[in-house]
Amino acid sequence: MNQYQEISWQGLWKNNPALVQMLGLCPLLAVTNTAVNALGLGLATLFVLIGSNITVSIVRNWIPNEIRIPVFVMVIASLVTIVQLLMNAYTYELYQTLGIFIPLIVTNCAIIGRAEAFASKNSVQFAAYDGLMMGSGFLVVLLALGAIREVLGNGTLLQGAEQIFGEAASNWHLVLFSPEQNFLLAILPPGAFIIMGLLIALKNKYDKRIEKLVIGEKTKQTIERARVTTESA
Amino acid sequence: MLNIHPISKASFILAAFALVTTGLVALTHLLTEDTIAQAQENAIQQTINQLVPADMYNNAIAQDCIVKQDVNGENIRVFRARFDEHPVAVVLESIAPNGYNGRIDLLVAIDTEQRILGVRTVKHTETPGLGDKIEIKKSNWITYFAGLSVTDDNQKNWAVRNDGGMFDAFTGATITPRAVVGAVKNTLVWAQEQDLFAQGQTCGEKQ
């Protein structure tokens, strides 16, 4: 397994920010009531993660160890503000729906976690790729959660796709069934917790089988779990 | 050899980062400012188009806008629709402060006979699946206001059914429609006492 494959494997499955590291659960649980909301927040997070990983990796040799955390925070906060302004300008309706959760990406531990645990120790291309994979891992879980909750709660899928993809997408949504009364449990936060728990259980159930499939039994190695904080040097 | 204390060095680096990052944010702000204002205006114009029939007025309604203080002391915007300079309708922002999860922002359109042309929910944080039926996307409940007005005779009917009024409440959510009905009624009563077509502080000056 070369380093790119290793990074993909870690980000998408083995060390998935949502299913394994359990980072960024607040926005994850709060906005996943529809697939489109989930996609919007997922893309914003992905973009910030790639941007912050690249920036942190570029400046990693210039910043003294003592001030690295404030610098990371500044880089992340300004990137998020930029994303927020861009979304406000170009995806206005989606921005209205996601509201407070865009600025909250700043506090998504997955981002500072990757800056600290990976980007500050690796070269730019690996850091960027790690951002892409970790962000995609997060995005996939968000999307799965959003799709399941939307189908269970409203009987639709991709309702409001035009908020991201423009007018052409206004008839993309599928109506699977039209419930007389929405299934509230799925739409409200408790449903998010329950379905998230089920997703994690499912991941754990097939963990060994998929690991065997991807890595193969012989080359199986002990993979270190990502630490959000480093040990003091 | 210049000897810089590590703390000074760290401070300089930190300051440099602060400057660069805030600079980038400021730059993005400058570049997106107009687009954001345009998007906001489009959103308002779209809602207004749903409320006031386009053949009723011929002025640039989104620009013909003044700021007033409503009953609760909140600054609200008033958009005036005119046909060849004659007042035909106003579109007012209305705030229901007592929603189930905080305030609900509404737009209320009223014609010159003090009849409601229509009401739309602009922004709210009510419970999805219960209170969010005040959105036109979710339910046509909000269209029930069209054509109504407040008179001395029907004052009492301006309440939800549970309170003895004429408006349906939603199953499991009475507080939300109660807040909306109350806000629309207050806005109507308030608008009757105001001269909304007079000159006033225009919206651009609001900061």
In this complex, how many residue pairs, one in chain A and one in chain B, have their CB atoms less than 8 Å apart?
68
Residue in A74, A89, A188 nearest the CB of B35? A89
Q: Which DSSP category does A232 fall into?
A: P
B116 phi, psi to nearest 5 deg: -75, 130
Q: A80 — phi, psi (to 5°)?
A: -65, -40
For position A223, what pLDDT does the model report? Answer: 55
Q: Provide the token pair at B142.
A: 């909000």
| Torsion sign over Cα B132, B43, A46, A112 | negative
Q: Judge whether A170 is closer than 8 Å to chain B, CB to CB.
A: no
In this predicted structure, what is the pLDDT of residue B2? Answer: 66
Q: Which of A71, A92, A153 sits opposite B129 (nearest CB)?
A: A153
Tokens, residue B178: 């109660």
Q: Does A86 touch chain B (CB under 8 A)?
A: yes
The reply to whether residue B21 touches residue A74, judged by beta carbons under 8 angstroms, is yes
A48 neighbourhood in chain B, CB within 8 Å: none
pLDDT, position B200? 74
Pairing state between β B75-83 and B65-69: antiparallel
SS3 B96: strand
Distance from CA of B36 to the nearest CA of A (A): 4
pTM: 0.78
- The pLDDT of residue B61 is 84
Give the chain B residue nearest A81 (alpha carbons): B25
SS3 content of chain B, % helix, strand, coil (to 5): 40, 25, 35
Provide the pLDDT for residue A177.
81
The answer to whether A184 contacts chain B (CB < 8 Å) is yes
Separation of alpha carbons A62 and A72, rounded Å? 13
Which ranges of chain B have pLDDT less than 50? 206-207
- pLDDT truncated to tens, each residue of chain A (233 aa)? 688 888 888 888 888 888 888 888 887 888 888 888 899 889 999 999 999 999 999 999 888 888 999 999 999 999 999 999 999 898 888 887 787 788 888 888 889 999 999 999 999 999 999 999 999 999 999 999 999 999 998 888 888 787 777 777 778 888 888 777 778 788 888 899 999 999 999 999 998 888 888 877 545 555 555 656 555 44
Chain A nearest C-alpha distance from B24 (Å): 7
Per-residue confidence (pLDDT) for residue B64, from 0 to 100:
85
**Domain-by-domain residue ranges, chain B?**
54-205
Q: What is the ipTM of this complex?
A: 0.76
Contact B29, B51 (CB under 8 A): no
CA distances for B125 relative to A97, A193, B79, B133, angstroms = 10, 20, 24, 12
- Chain A closest-CA separation from residue B26 CA (Å): 9
Dihedral in degrees, nearest 10, Cα atoms B165, B169, B171, B176: -130
Residues 6+ apart with CB under 8 A from B175: B98, B99, B100, B131
pLDDT of residue B206: 44
For residues A69 and A56, give the distance between their C-alpha atoms in angstroms, rounded to a whole number. 10
- Euclidean distance between CA atoms A162 and A45, whole angstroms: 20
Question: Alpha-carbon Rg of chain A, whole angstroms?
Answer: 19
Measuring CA to CA, which residue among A52, A227, A4, A13 is closest to residue A141?
A13
| A62 part of contact set with chain B, CB < 8 Å | yes
Q: Mind telling me how many Å the CA of A161 is from chain B's nearest CA?
A: 14
DSSP state of B197: T
Q: Which two tokens stand for residue B107?
A: 């737009």
Out of B13, B24, B171, closest to residue A63 by CB = B13
Q: Say if the Cβ atoms of B39 and A92 lie within 8 Å.
A: yes
| Cα B76–Cα B79–Cα B84 angle in degrees, nearest 5 | 160
Residue A89's contacts (CB-CB under 8 Å, 6 or more residues apart) are B32, B35, B36, B39
Residues recorded for chain A: 233
Answer yes or no: are the C-beta atoms of A14 and A137 closer than 8 Å: no
The rounded distance, in Å, linking the Cα atoms of B79 and B36 is 19
pLDDT of residue A233: 42
For residue B106, give how far its alpha carbon lies from the nearest alpha carbon of chain A (Å).
15
Query: Residue B29 and residue B174: Cα distance in Å, rounded?
Result: 41
Q: Are strands B116-123 and B65-69 parallel, antiparallel or unpaired?
A: unpaired
